[in-house]
Structure 1
Amino acid sequence: MGRSPRKDLLAGLTVAVVALPLALGFGISSGAGAEAGLATAVVAGALAAVFGGSNLQVSGPTGAMTVVLVPIVHRYGADGVLTVGLLAGLVLVALALARAGRWMAYVPVPVVEGFTVGIAGVIALQQVPGALGVPKPGGDNPAAVAARAAGAFLDAPHWAAPGLALGTAAVMLVGARLRPAVPFSLLAVVAATLLARFADLPVATIGHLPAGLPAPSFGFFEAADVP
């Protein structure tokens, strides 16, 4: 930090801008909520920076854990996530003490890439009900749940949710290709959130919400109803 503060601060800001929408998205997709994803990213990043063994490290949310946490949140709630996190930390400490990391050099690259692609496929299947705007069907098999969600959508199609999902994805993909330096992931998440929040309200009423409308919850604080 003392040698190149400007470059380090710019790199930290870039990582934070990328990690923010990831943390929100992974928190929602795992079932723990956006607040949990944001808080976890902040706390984990700070702890990794203080106790990590590298001067050039990047810590952030990972999609692989989403697949593991979805059934745990569904069955055991947030307490189950804390228990699994503690056990995973103990296992990692044990592996570090045993110097097991050196064996990773013998894992072929296609195996690692296949694992990553498989995780991406499972995450995509888990998001099908939300992208189609239908209640999530029961079941533990992501492919079967996605198929039942698609069937429910075809029975009573409504295009607002799929349009919002496709529009968000288009902004992220096209924007990243045209202007890589602009955080289009964050902008797309904010725009989609605002659009979903106010889509059913006339433009003239924005800022003058009707009486009795429940206010949103922000993290650990629950706002009172709008007067």
Structure 2
Amino acid sequence: MSDLLARLTSLLPARADLAEMRRDPRRDLLAGLTVAIVALPLALGFGVSSGLGAEAGLATAVIAGALAALFGGSNLQVSGPTGAMTVVLLPIVGAHGPAGVLTVGLMAGVMLVALAALKAGRYMRYIPAPVVEGFTLGIACVIGLQQIPNALGVPKPEGDRVLPVTWRAIEEFAKAPNWTAVGLAVAVAAVMLAGARWRPTVPFSI
């Protein structure tokens, strides 16, 4: 019991951590602003994709970023919204609403603290890279399909299954094409891709 308590205590910030935070505040502030500029459009987009709205994504990114900075265990970590959670949360929002998301979030937090206390992170090295890359690619495809109704300028059809919703959106677009929306979506994508090549340090995603 005492060993488990010691492990939980080790997760809390110590005096050395607080002293490290005050060592170079200018560099930390610049790094924080850089991450915030990149994470802002992600937070807004993922909030909309999850079905809770842009304001939920923004609030979650701010709170999670502050907690990660205070309780994080690495000097190199970057915290921010993740695309994987939008796919997981969308059916939960549809079935149980925002209260269901809060419950699932608390359950996931308890599980993460327990895994951290058990030092389970060291076993991540045994997960093959293709598994992680395949998972990430699958999530990217799902998020891309979720944006098809917006890109086509049609109301999002009912349902939480991505492929049927996307197909119905394409059928609606075929009945009454909205080329202005398509042109705007293509232009935004072109600016983001070309801008990232032209000036990698400028956050064109905003």
- TM-score, normalization: structure 2? 0.85
Q: Which amino acid aligns with 1:172?
A: M
- 1:41 counterpart residue number: 61
Q: Is 2:45–2:57's contact at 8 Å kept on the other side of the alignment?
A: yes
- 2:113 counterpart residue number: 93
- 2:28 counterpart residue number: 8
User: In the alignment, does 2:156 pair up with 1:124?
Assistant: no
Deviations 1:86-143 (A, max 9, x none): 1111111122222221211111101100000000001111111111111222333211
- TM-score, normalization: structure 1? 0.78
Cα RMSD (Å) of the superposition?
1.4
RCO comparison, higher one (Cα < 8 Å, 6+): 2
Q: Which amino acid aligns with 2:56?
A: A
Give 4+ residue runs of structure 1 displaced > 4 Å after superposition.
none
Aligned residue pairs: how many?
186
* 2:93 maps to which of 70, 73, 80: 73
How far apart, in 1, do the equivalents of 2:106 and 2:43 lie? Answer: 19
How far apart, in 2, do the equivalents of 1:131 and 1:71 lie? Answer: 22
Deviations 1:41-74 (A, max 9, x none): 0011011111222233211111110101111112
Q: What are the ranges of 5 or more consecutive residues in structure 1 without an aligned counterpart?
A: 187-227
How far apart, in 1, do the equivalents of 2:67 and 2:25 lie? Answer: 21
Q: Which amino acid aligns with 1:127?
A: Q
Percent identity reads: 73
Q: Which amino acid aligns with 2:99?
A: D
Q: What are the ranges of 5 or more consecutive residues in structure 2 without an aligned counterpart?
A: 1-20
- 1:225 counterpart residue number: none
Question: Larger helix proportion, structure 1 or 2?
Answer: 2
User: In the alignment, does 2:51 pair up with 1:31?
Assistant: yes
How far apart, in 1, do the equivalents of 2:151 and 2:34 lie? Answer: 28
- 1:52 counterpart residue number: 72
Matches within 5 A, 1:133-152: 133-152=153-172
